[in-house]
């Protein structure tokens, strides 16, 4: 996690939401302090500790406790507790919860995919189908859920896809140009859609071959043709509902766009301790005076 980049992002997010000031929270005495608990409303996997800690420091709040990234939580569990000026807690609430809910949703989806695949020989990875501006955080959430990251940016690896193959006149020429121009630490991956392309990618000695939109049965058959030193990646249309069918296919990686582009946020809420909403949430309204 790049903490410098994180702070810049959080500053921009707070500026977007607060504007020239919280017109509601300004009604509260500026000297008043509160304790706020953030609780999960559904089961899932928590992610967002870095966001909580950094935003608390920026907003001069104290983090009393916080679940670690990757923690499995149940509905009703406390995710984190903050103490500080009541005005500041309330002006910070929405940005903080938006991020934590989104990241925890990604971590939860990733954990479900890993568990349903149930094959430790295959890495579950994300893609570049991320929310603009949130890629660093979203890919961190994937790792928190037990997955791994594909390339972060276009400069991380050479990935020769269908349009590159068309523009460069074929896989052989594309890989040759990649080897000529790239440094020795830059891997070359080739996407293939036909058996003819697979054989061409093998002959060109690509580092990784992406087998696009193949059935589990086709993946097993195609993987058997690839030398062991070339890694294979399955991609295209694989979801949490279908991933179990790809167990034991022999591929090294399954990349899933759904991990970041179609997740449901992990619902949670922030409540000031002593408030009626906090009491109802915890089923102890009779203790409120």
Task: Name the pTM for this structure.
Answer: 0.91
Three-point CA angle 220, 225, 228, nearest 5°:
95
Clarify whether residues 62 and 11 are in a common domain. yes
| Annotation says 189 is catalytic | no
Question: How large is the average pLDDT for residues 243-251?
Answer: 96
Clarify whether residues 132 and 231 are in a common domain. yes
Structural domain that includes position 214: 118-261
- Quick: pLDDT tens for 102-131: 999 999 999 999 999 999 999 999 999 999
Clarify whether residues 87 and 130 are in a common domain. no
The confidence score (pLDDT) of residue 278 equals 55
Q: Are 81 and 37 in contact (CB under 8 A)?
A: yes
- Quick: pLDDT tens for 70-80: 999 999 999 99
CA-CA distance, 160 to 183, in Å (whole number)?
Answer: 16
Clarify whether residues 126 and 242 are in a common domain. yes
Active-site annotation holder among 50, 64, 212, 252: 212
The packing angle between helices 135-144 and 3-18, to 10°, is 120
Question: How large is the average pLDDT for residues 37-51?
Answer: 98
Here the CATH number for the domain that contains residue 67 is 3.90.1170.20
Neighbouring CB atoms inside 10 A of 10's CB total 20
How far lies 152's CA from each of 66, 126, 134, 139, 148, in Å?
27, 9, 11, 8, 11
pLDDT > 80? residue 27? yes
Active-site annotation holder among 83, 151, 161, 179: 161
Assign residue 274 a region (left: φ > 0; alpha: ψ between -120 and 50; beta: otherwise): left
Residue among 65, 137, 127 at smallest CA distance from 95: 137
| Annotation says 94 is catalytic | yes
Clarify whether residues 67 and 79 are in a common domain. yes
Clarify whether residues 126 and 254 are in a common domain. yes
Active-site annotation holder among 7, 41, 83, 94: 94
Could you give the maximum distance between any two Cα atoms of the chain, in Å? 77
Clarify whether residues 139 and 47 are in a common domain. no
Clarify whether residues 39 and 82 are in a common domain. yes
| Annotation says 217 is catalytic | no
Clarify whether residues 14 and 143 are in a common domain. no
Active-site annotation holder among 129, 148, 179, 220: 129
> Across the chain, what does the average pLDDT equal?
93
Clarify whether residues 140 and 268 are in a common domain. no
Please enumerate in sequence order all residues whose Cβ is within 8 A of that of 6, keeping only pairs 6 or more positions apart, or say none.
Answer: 50, 51, 54, 136, 137
Q: How many domains, in total, are found in the chain?
A: 2
Active-site annotation holder among 191, 200, 214, 223: 191
Clarify whether residues 224 and 90 are in a common domain. no
pLDDT > 80? residue 174? yes
Q: Are 271 and 86 in contact (CB under 8 A)?
A: no
């Amino acid at each position: 996690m790049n903490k410098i980049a994180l702070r810049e992002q959080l500053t921009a997010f707070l500026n977007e939401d607060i504007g020239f000031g919280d017109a509601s929270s300004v009604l509260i005495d500026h000297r008043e302090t509160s304790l706020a608990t953030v609780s999960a409303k559904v089961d899932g996997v928590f992610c967002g500790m870095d966001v909580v800690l950094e935003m608390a420091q920026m907003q001069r709040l104290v983090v009393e406790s916080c679940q670690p990234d990757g923690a499995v939580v149940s509905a009703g569990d406390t995710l984190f507790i903050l103490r500080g000026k009541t005005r500041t807690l309330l002006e910070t609430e929405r940005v903080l919860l938006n991020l934590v809910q989104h990241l925890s949703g990604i971590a939860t989806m990733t954990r479900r995919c890993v568990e349903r695949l149930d094959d430790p020989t295959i890495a579950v990875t994300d893609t570049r189908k991320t929310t603009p501006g949130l890629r660093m955080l979203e890919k961190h959430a994937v790792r928190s859920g037990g997955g791994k990251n594909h390339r972060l940016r276009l400069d991380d690896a050479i990935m020769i896809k269908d349009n590159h193959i068309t523009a460069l006149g074929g896989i052989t020429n594309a890989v040759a140009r990649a080897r000529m121009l790239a440094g020795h630490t830059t891997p070359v991956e080739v996407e293939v859609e036909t058996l003819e392309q697979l054989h061409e990618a093998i002959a060109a000695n690509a580092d990784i071959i992406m087998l696009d939109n193949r059935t589990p049965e086709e993946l097993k058959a195609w993987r058997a043709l690839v030398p062991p030193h070339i890694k294979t990646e399955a991609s295209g249309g694989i979801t949490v509902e279908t991933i179990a069918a790809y167990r034991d296919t022999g591929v090294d990686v399954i990349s899933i766009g759904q991990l970041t582009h179609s997740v449901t946020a992990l619902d949670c809420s922030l409540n000031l301790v002593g408030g009626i909403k906090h009491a109802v949430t915890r089923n102890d309204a009779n203790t409120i005076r």
